[in-house]
């Protein structure tokens, strides 16, 4: 895969988006890389358009949540490899290369990696390690693959084959995509490819309430005819 596209949904994220785009500008990648930002809010749109790394900016009103924004970005992107991150996330310089290397194996259709908190607080670092790394290491071999939306990639052909993100889901749309991708091939978890992301949700809501929200969401997802109801992206 010599062409890769990074899709960044950004909902009123002007204060954090520049840091995300700065990290994408530092990518060490020997192929062709493009950055597509799907944004709402005049200030966020302006920040996306003004940054030198941005190749394309799409206006989005967020009526249908982050899944729709990511789908719109993927549709406009040109890369054979689609990568997704968020506007409150910082990726390391070898992030694209780290994901891309797995696709040398033809059966691989998706890759996910762990999350680390941007803050240096010990509590956040320990709990992120537990919930956003070791949980994946335990659940992945059991078939419960969960590419996190801010650190995942998909082979374009597989993404199109499964119809992209399910726009009807306001919650767990990244887990849903991961599980459907298993029908197309292998979804890899790479614990050596972390990104740093904001811990604001954890600070505002607390880890236990968030854990319970995810637990209920998983149950709703598993029950036929039900859909996860929490609108967690903001």
pLDDT digits (tens, 9 = 90+) for 53-110: 999 999 987 666 789 999 999 999 999 999 999 999 999 999 999 999 999 999 999 9
Sign, CA torsion 109/76/86/211: negative
Q: What is the largest CA-CA distance in the chain?
A: 46
Confidence of residue 232 (pLDDT cuts 50, 70, 90): very low
Query: Which backbone phi and psi does 113 adopt, to 5 degrees?
Result: -140, 170
What does the pLDDT average to over 166-170? Answer: 84
**Whether the predicted pLDDT of 142 surpasses 80:** yes
Q: Which of 22-36, 56-70, 198-212 has the lowest mean pLDDT?
A: 198-212
| DSSP string over 163-213 | TSS-TT-SS-HHHHHHHHHTTTSEEEE-TT--EEE--HHHHHH-HHHHHHH
pLDDT band at 222 (very low <50, low <70, confident <90, very high): low
Global confidence as pTM: 0.90
Q: What pLDDT is attached to residue 200?
A: 67
- Find, among 30, 29, 48, the residue nearest to 39 by Cα: 48
Give me the phi and psi of 229, to 5 degrees please. Answer: -100, -10
pLDDT, residue 233, reads 40
pLDDT tens for residues 108-128?
Answer: 999 999 999 998 789 888 988
Instruction: Give the separation between CA 113 and CA 139, rounded to whole angstroms.
Output: 13
Query: Sorting pLDDT into bands at 50, 70 and 90, what band is 33?
Result: very high
């Amino acid at each position: 895969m010599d062409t890769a596209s990074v899709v960044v949904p950004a909902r009123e994220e002007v204060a954090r988006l520049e840091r995300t785009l700065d990290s994408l500008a530092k990518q060490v990648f020997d192929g062709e890389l493009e950055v597509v930002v799907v944004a709402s809010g005049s200030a966020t749109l302006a920040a996306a358009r003004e940054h030198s790394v941005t190749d394309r900016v799409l206006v989005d009103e967020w009526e249908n949540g982050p899944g729709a924004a990511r789908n719109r970005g993927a549709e406009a992107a040109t890369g054979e490899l689609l990568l997704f991150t968020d506007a409150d996330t910082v990726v390391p310089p070898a992030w694209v290369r780290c994901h891309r290397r797995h696709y040398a194996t033809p059966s691989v259709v998706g890759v996910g990696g762990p999350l680390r908190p941007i803050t240096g607080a010990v509590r956040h670092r320990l709990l992120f390690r537990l919930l956003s790394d070791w949980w994946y290491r335990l659940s992945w071999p059991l078939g419960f693959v969960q590419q996190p939306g801010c650190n995942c990639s998909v082979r374009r052909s597989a993404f199109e084959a499964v119809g992209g993100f399910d726009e009807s889901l306001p919650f767990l749309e990244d887990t849903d995509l991961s599980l459907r991708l298993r029908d197309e091939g292998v979804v890899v978890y790479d614990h050596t490819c972390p990104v740093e992301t904001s811990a604001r949700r954890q600070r505002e809501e607390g880890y236990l309430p968030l854990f319970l929200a995810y637990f209920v969401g998983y149950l709703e997802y598993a029950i036929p005819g039900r859909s996860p109801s929490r609108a967690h992206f903001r």
